Each structure stands twice: as C-alpha cells, then as structure tokens.
C-alpha cells in the first residue's frame, strides 16, 4: 500500500495500522531509554551525541580523564583479560562501576546503551579471558584508534563478557556503539551468546530495544511515510529511533561548527525524556539524566546534566593524557553545578573499580 499520498489525520484507520506495524516490530514494554546519533558537518567532520535515560536519578556520575599507559584487567572470572591503555580518554562513569560513554585521544567515541535482549553467553564454555561489562566501552577506548581497527579485532574477540548486576540490582544488559573521526560507525550486540556487528557509516542512530536489525526494519517503514507528515511520538525506544533518524536526515550539514554543534544538541534534546517522567506499566522507560556530545575532530567532549542550567566540556588539548599522568575526576553532584571548560576543576583520584569487583 502506498502511503505517500495519505494524510495521517484523515482517517483513524491509518493511525491504527501504523500502531499495528510498530507493535509487530517490537513490544513497547521492552523499551528502555537512551539515544545516540552521529552527525556529519558541512566540512566532512563528525559530532556524536547521546543521552543517558535512567530511572535512578541518584546514580553516581563523574567525568574522568584517564591517561595512556594505565594498567587494566577484566576484573571478573578466573582469568580476567589484562591490557595497558594505548590511548588516553575522557569518559563518563556510572555508579562508579563502569564507563558508560567517552572519547579517546584519537577521536574514537564509545556509547553504551541498555538492550534488554542482550545475552552474553556462557563464559565458562568460551575458553577465553573474561571482561566485565562495566569495562566493555573502556576496552575499545584504550585499544583502538578507528572503528575499522576495532571491528577487525572483534572478528575474533579476545575476551568473553561477564555481566554482573548493576549496583541498583538491574541487569547489565547492554549494547555498544563506536564512531570515529572518519565518520565510520559500528554497533555491537550480544544476541543469544553471539556477537553481532553492524559496521558502516550508514549506522548513525541507535536507541534500545528491539535489536538493531529490527530497528532498521521499523525505520524503513517510517521512511516510506515521510517524517514531515507523521512520526511516532511516544518515549519508547523504537519511536525515538524513528524520530532521531528523521531529524538527523533532515538537518542541514552546517559548515559553521557552532551551528553544527547546536544542531546535534537540539536533536538529542528533542528525543530526551522530561525529568521525573515514569510509567508504572513500563518501568524500564525513564527520564533523561544527562547528555554527551563529542566533537571527533576538535577533540572536545561536552556534558549536559538535566539538573544543571548550563553546558560543560573538557578540551583534550587542556588535559594531560601522557603516560604516567594521574587519573583525574570531576563529579556530577547536586548543589555543585558544572559549567564551561572543566579542566581546571579536575582533581587527582584513584580510579573506580569495575562492575563485579570484590
């Protein structure tokens, strides 16, 4: 049926059929908030934007500067993987238990989002070193300069992931996106114990459930309707994927970097969930706690808290990422609003322990 000549307000039948298609592709009760986009400027540079939507506003959050050369291990299991960071990074920690988001000195960006369908597999059967889910994003930031390099390495992953429960008791069910200075992108999902990788610059949007292949199919349906005529408006992940995809495709590619950055800010704000919103029938839907934006070329990492009236950022040219430098942190706390460039506010600190550490 051709939809392009139909006006969505002319008949209730159109609305009902649209809802039926949406439900067929993914149950709404499986939704969990968080959104990520990758925007191309008019200068062929790239800006990533993302939101962290979570039901626990007390979740400890902090901005960290990790220098290269840091000694790491996978924390969990009898044979945790060990490595030394090849690259320094700026990251956001969550619950003082893991890296949720960040960018390394080469402009590689990692975003971890909730995915209810994630099934990591049985680590005892894989015969590989183990890695806590809390360090999954950090492993990429520490070790890879480009998406291509990371995807090649993950063709035969050097680890098996173990996912202990989060400090609030929720399951660490996650998927991961990465993007780089060239505009390359990849989505990593563990489905039924196997790693599925979607690799290509066309993968510019990610939300949550259902799995990424189903999100793409759903978005194809809505593209046939046309976003200027009708878009799904709920806060569930499938609807946010469609709205974010439309906004990204319809937005101009600004050559002015300030306008380009403002465009990404506006797009992520447009799919954010207002503070305090909850749904007792769908408890996984949650308010937006914070947003991040990464300029891959300028190497500037922006942070916006939902409870602060200003934007803050860290400029990589103003922080010490050299081997032997001290890890530093600035905490996101009520009553201590963050604003502007934060390098002077960073304090030396002992790094947090990964999820699952005893």
Domain map of the chain by residue range? 25-348
In the structure, what pLDDT confidence band is assigned to residue 358 with cuts at 50, 70 and 90? low
Q: Hunting for tokens 């060239």 — which residue is that?
A: 182
C-alpha span between 86 and 68 (Å, rounded): 5
The residues assigned a catalytic role are 34
Mean pLDDT of all residues in 192-210: 90
pLDDT at position 74: 93
In the structure, what pLDDT confidence band is assigned to residue 223 with cuts at 50, 70 and 90? low
Question: Rounded to two decimals, what is the model's pTM?
Answer: 0.87
| Nearest in space to 301 (alpha carbons), one of 29, 53, 66 | 66
Lowest-confidence pick of 38-47, 162-171, 277-286, 319-328: 277-286
| 124: phi then psi, degrees, rounded to nearest 5 | -70, -20
CATH superfamily of 25-348: Penicillin V Acylase; Chain A (3.60.60.10)
Instruction: Evaluate if residue 209 carries a pLDDT over 90.
Output: no
In the chain, pLDDT over 90 holds for what percent of residues? 60
pLDDT at position 57: 86
C-alpha span between 284 and 53 (Å, rounded): 10
Which residues have C-beta within 8 Å of that of residue 335, sequence separation ≥ 6?
Answer: none
Instruction: Evaluate if residue 351 carries a pLDDT over 80.
Output: yes
In the structure, what pLDDT confidence band is assigned to residue 28 with cuts at 50, 70 and 90? very low
C-alpha span between 189 and 19 (Å, rounded): 27
pLDDT at position 227: 57
């Amino acid at each position: 049926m051709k939809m392009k000549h139909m006006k969505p307000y002319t008949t209730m039948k159109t609305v009902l059929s649209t809802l039926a298609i949406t439900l067929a592709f993914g149950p709404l009760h499986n939704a969990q908030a968080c959104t990520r986009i990758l925007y191309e400027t008019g200068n062929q540079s790239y800006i990533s934007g993302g939101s962290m939507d979570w039901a626990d506003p007390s979740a400890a959050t902090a901005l960290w500067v990790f220098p290269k050369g840091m000694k790491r291990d996978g924390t969990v299991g009898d044979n945790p993987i060990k490595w030394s960071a090849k690259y320094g990074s700026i990251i956001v920690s969550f619950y003082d238990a893991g890296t949720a988001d960040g960018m390394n000195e080469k402009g590689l960006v990692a975003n971890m989002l909730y995915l209810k369908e994630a099934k990591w597999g049985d680590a005892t059967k894989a015969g590989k070193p183990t890695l806590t889910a809390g360090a999954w994003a950090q492993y990429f930031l520490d070790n890879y300069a480009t998406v291509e390099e990371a995807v090649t390495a993950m063709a035969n992953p050097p680890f098996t992931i173990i996912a202990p429960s989060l400090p609030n008791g929720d399951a660490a069910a996650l998927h991961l996106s990465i993007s780089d200075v060239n505009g390359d992108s990849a989505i990593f999902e563990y489905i039924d114990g196997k790693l599925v990788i979607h690799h290509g610059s066309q993968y510019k949007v990610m939300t949550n459930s259902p799995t990424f292949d189903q999100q793409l199919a759903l978005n194809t349906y809505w593209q046939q309707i046309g976003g200027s005529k009708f878009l799904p408006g709920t806060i569930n992940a499938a609807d946010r994927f469609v709205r974010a995809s439309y906004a990204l495709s319809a937005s101009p590619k600004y050559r002015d970097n300030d306008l380009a950055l403002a465009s990404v800010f506006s797009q992520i704000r447009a799919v954010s969930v207002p503070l305090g919103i909850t749904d007792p029938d769908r408890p996984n839907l949650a308010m937006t706690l914070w947003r991040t934006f990464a300029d891959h070329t300028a190497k500037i990492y922006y942070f916006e808290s939902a409870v602060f009236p200003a934007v803050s950022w860290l400029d990589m040219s103003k922080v010490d990422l050299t081997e032997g430098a001290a890890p530093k942190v600035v905490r996101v706390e009520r009553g201590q609003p963050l604003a502007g460039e934060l390098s002077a506010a960073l304090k030396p600190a002992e790094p947090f322990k990964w999820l699952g550490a005893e």
